[in-house]
Chain A
Amino acid sequence: MGLEAILQKDGYVTTTIDAIVSWARKSSVWPMPMGISCCAIEMISAADPKYDIARFGSEVMRFTPRQCDLMIVAGTVTYKMAQVVRRIYDQMPEPKWVIAMGACTSSGGMYRSYSVVQGIDQFLPVDVYTAGCPPRPENLLNALMTLQEKIGKTKARDFQNRPLVDLELAQN
């Protein structure tokens, strides 16, 4: 590793708080796998030995929203499910990000029908859209890297003093 070599020579490095905080933030994004339908299978594939999402520090898939920074919405969101997705999103602590995985979540995809939400950006702030039906695991990893780039630009002081969302109010 590069860092150890440098440390051995000089003994210390200097950096800014912002840099180190955003570095820590972006390299340990814990996803909340909101696997709804077919895309969820590719999301699991991204975690399997061949694609290995652990290389990007995101292998810790937590099924409770309270422990996550990133929601990967993978699958067709119906109107009935939208309430649930929103409620789970509200439970996640700040700062939080959203990846819309697949055509369905991004735009409704091939389902122009009465029960499918035509894009989750109607009720969630989406950071990265991923194309494909389903996106290949490589594409999901690409989305994750794009998001890491975005997170890398945040400052240490961002996300302070954000009020907690009132769950009951947010529902209606």
Chain B
Amino acid sequence: MDRISQIYNDEKLLKRLHDDPGLTIEDALENEMVINMGPQHPATHGVLRLVLRLDGETVMGIVPELGYLHRGYEKMAENMSYIEFIPHTDRLDYLATMCNNVAYVLAVEKLAGIEAPKRAQYIRMIVSELSRIASHLVAIGTFAMDVGAVTMVMWTFREREKIQNIFDRLAGARFTTSYTRIGGVAADMDDEAIAMARKFLEEIEPAMVEMDKLMLGNRIFIDRLEGIGILSKEDAIDLGITGPNLRSSGVEYDVRRAKPYLFYNEVDFNIPVYTEGDCLARYHQRGDELRESAKILKQLLDKIPNGEVMANDPKKVLPHKTEIYSKMEELIHDFMIINFGINPPVGDTYFSVENPKGELGFYFVSNGTGNPWKLKIHSPSFCNLQAIPKLCKGAMVSDVVAIIGSLDPVMGEADK
């Protein structure tokens, strides 16, 4: 209203309006426009599409549209056995593949009542923390790139490459690892891999200091993030936000602490929490979590026990390949598990873990056969994206980019 009365006082403008009868105040200045951003846009982190309604530079409303990467995971899961689905979990959150692998097998193990040996559990923790570091590195790098600092993405990818090498050694693939198995992990972690992880941990510390110097010493970077996209504690809970985004809004909730799975109750770590809830807090949050993960990793590498990496449960856990080729019984078990599945009891379970993006949950409904009757994936990126309309309302267009970057969604997981 203010602006309109201002305009009515502007004599030059009034004269122009008077001279040109076709020009009305509505279409000359009251122009809200609708623009489309994505699904192919460098700043939307994949194939997210946003439709923005703008008044000048200000965002009046924003509607996210998903589904450009909807691959039908839940339908496919109903048509394949529990083991067959493991490779598909890699492609959910493809920046933290190991975390998904671990989450999925833990969920199946809960349903089927299997427990993996301690060494396997430790290896799972190690790989998921490595994965968390890799994911947060990408998050920080692409976030910085979104707000204009392209150097950062080069640096973080350089560090991430080292983690990829460790995974390459462990699982034979750079990031589509499919490393875990129901009842254990596919291959043992040898000394070489442990040495690589140790070396990486030594190198990440100074690298993080360097990166922080680059970013946080930069006035422009801070100015673009401070006070932008503030998410209050109440809204965060109401909108179902999870993970670092929730914690940076002041809710101290981390599944690793709240409901410890694996052996997270045996390691010592802090849960960083910020109360500001703005983009800068979300940036700091990820950096801090990365350091905490490095701290956890150090303890794990020291503590890792010796022993088996697959549980001994022939009806449900795949035997080792060398035994399949030499022993009759193992061959039969392998055949039965691969062809008819592990047949967990009738019932339904929900299991969730703390992924780098937030809480990843798997809800299984089993009817006693080899295929799940239903699998529902509760993906953190999906619920985090729900905050976009709330955060972007009233922001500037260039802030929208920063806000999406700070939420760090991955569309593979949000669209399922």
A residues near B (Cβ < 8 Å) are 34-38, 40-42, 44-45, 48-50, 63, 75-76, 78, 80-81, 84, 88, 110-116, 133-134, 136
B394 at the interface (CB under 8 A from A): no
B157 to A38, Cβ gap below 8 A? no
B71 to A48, Cβ gap below 8 A? no
Bound together, the chains give a CA A133 to CA B94 distance in angstroms of 12
B69 at the interface (CB under 8 A from A): yes
In-complex Cβ contact of B71 among A40, A50, A116 (8 A) = A116
Distance to closest chain A CB from B90 (angstroms) = 8
In-complex Cβ contact of B91 among A37, A49, A63, A84 (8 A) = A37
For residue A84, which residues in chain B have a CB less than 8 angstroms away from its CB? 39-40, 47, 68
In-complex Cβ contact of B174 among A34, A42, A110 (8 A) = A42
Q: A49-B158, A84-B40, A88-B40 are in contact. Are A38 and B72 (CB under 8 A)?
A: no
B42 at the interface (CB under 8 A from A): yes
A41 to B94, Cβ gap below 8 A? yes
Give me the 3 closest cross-chain CB pairs, A-B, nearest first.
A113-B72, A38-B94, A48-B157
B161 at the interface (CB under 8 A from A): yes
Bound together, the chains give a CA A41 to CA B174 distance in angstroms of 11
Which positions 3-20 of chain B face chain A at CB distance < 8 Å? none
B154 to A48, Cβ gap below 8 A? yes
Distance to closest chain A CB from B35 (angstroms) = 15
Distance to closest chain A CB from B89 (angstroms) = 12
Distance to closest chain B CB from A112 (angstroms) = 8
For residue B47, which residues in chain A have a CB less than 8 angstroms away from its CB? 36-37, 81, 84
B154 to A49, Cβ gap below 8 A? yes
A44 to B157, Cβ gap below 8 A? yes
B131 at the interface (CB under 8 A from A): no
B243 at the interface (CB under 8 A from A): no
A35 to B71, Cβ gap below 8 A? no
For residue A45, which residues in chain B have a CB less than 8 angstroms away from its CB? 157, 161, 164, 174
B69 to A76, Cβ gap below 8 A? yes
B251 at the interface (CB under 8 A from A): no
> At the interface, is chain B mostly helix, strand, loop or mixed?
loop
A selection of 18 A-B contacts at a CB cut-off of 8 Å is A36-B68, A36-B69, A37-B46, A37-B94, A41-B175, A42-B175, A49-B157, A49-B158, A63-B41, A78-B69, A80-B67, A80-B68, A81-B39, A81-B47, A81-B68, A81-B69, A84-B39, A116-B72
For residue A111, which residues in chain B have a CB less than 8 angstroms away from its CB? 71-72, 76
Which one of B72, B91, B94, B174 has the highest number of Cβ atoms from chain A below 10 Å of its Cβ?
A: B91
A115 to B70, Cβ gap below 8 A? yes
Bound together, the chains give a CA A80 to CA B47 distance in angstroms of 11
For residue A49, which residues in chain B have a CB less than 8 angstroms away from its CB? 154, 157-158
For residue A41, which residues in chain B have a CB less than 8 angstroms away from its CB? 94-95, 138, 175
Bound together, the chains give a CA A115 to CA B70 distance in angstroms of 7
Instruction: Kindly supply a per-residue 1/0 record for chain B positions 167-210, scoring 1 wherever the CB is within 8 Å of any chain A CB and 0 otherwise.
Output: 00000001110000000000000000000000000000000000
Instruction: Kindly supply a per-residue 1/0 record for chain B positions 238-252, scoring 1 wherever the CB is within 8 Å of any chain A CB and 0 otherwise.
Output: 000000000000000
B94 to A113, Cβ gap below 8 A? no
For residue A35, which residues in chain B have a CB less than 8 angstroms away from its CB? 46
Bound together, the chains give a CA A49 to CA B138 distance in angstroms of 15
In-complex Cβ contact of A50 among B67, B76, B88, B161 (8 A) = B161
In-complex Cβ contact of A115 among B40, B71, B91, B157 (8 A) = B71
Distance to closest chain B CB from A99 (angstroms) = 16
Bound together, the chains give a CA A78 to CA B153 distance in angstroms of 28
Residue of A nearest to B38 (CB): A84
Distance to closest chain A CB from B43 (angstroms) = 9
Bound together, the chains give a CA A50 to CA B160 distance in angstroms of 11
Which positions 34-78 of chain B face chain A at CB distance < 8 Å? 39-42, 46-47, 67-72, 75-76
